[in-house]
Amino acid sequence: MYHELLAFIRIRQENLTSDEHKDTVRATTILVTSVPENFLNAATLRQVFSVFPGGVRNVFLNRDCSDLLNEVELRDKISKLLEAGETQLIIDANKNHRKAMKKREKELKKKGTNAEEVGSREAEGEAEQAAEDQEYLVDKYVPKKKRPTYRVPLANWMPSLPLIGKKVPPWGS
């Protein structure tokens, strides 16, 4: 996990400092919350944040954040669905992989072959075959019909109900 985290941080930093990303609105916008009352005007905020490289182009003051809070709650709800779905997919794939390995070991014991040697050869062959086929490894272990799904509510104010609404995977259609 540590090496994966380091790789993620390196890739993220490369992306954030790339020329394509530097000039986007997302890269040049900041959200400042909990601003004291005496700083709640555009001129004062422009003066405070003028120390940033490139200065300040626009200052927007938003005092009613209820719409934003609703969007943040929706985003959090969707991200929890995504994380739960991906976790369940990984659990199912691992379970199916272990079952397949046990079945393969039983077959090898019946034949009297050394399971470790055959297993390492098969693992190398599977990796090469997966790279050639350009398909995801999860497709091998969890069929699409057995993957986690949830139901989309009929309206955005309704909760999702069983047997009502379109059934979709957590990561999109």
pTM above 0.85, yes or no: no
Residue 165: Cβ within 10 Å count: 15
Q: What CA–CA distance (Å, rounded) separates 77 from 74?
A: 5
How does pLDDT run across 134-162, given as a tens digit for each residue?
567 777 888 888 888 878 777 777 777 77
**Chain centroid, CA 79 distance in Å:** 8
Digits of tens for pLDDT over the chain (173 positions)? 788 889 889 998 888 888 888 778 887 788 888 888 888 888 998 888 888 877 788 888 877 778 888 888 888 988 888 888 888 888 988 998 899 899 989 988 888 765 555 556 566 666 566 555 556 777 788 888 888 887 877 777 777 777 787 877 776 54
For 94, half-sphere exposure in the C-beta direction (CA atoms, 13 angstrom radius) is 6
The overall average pLDDT reported for the chain is 80
Q: What residue segments make up the domains of the chain, in order of their start? A: 66-168
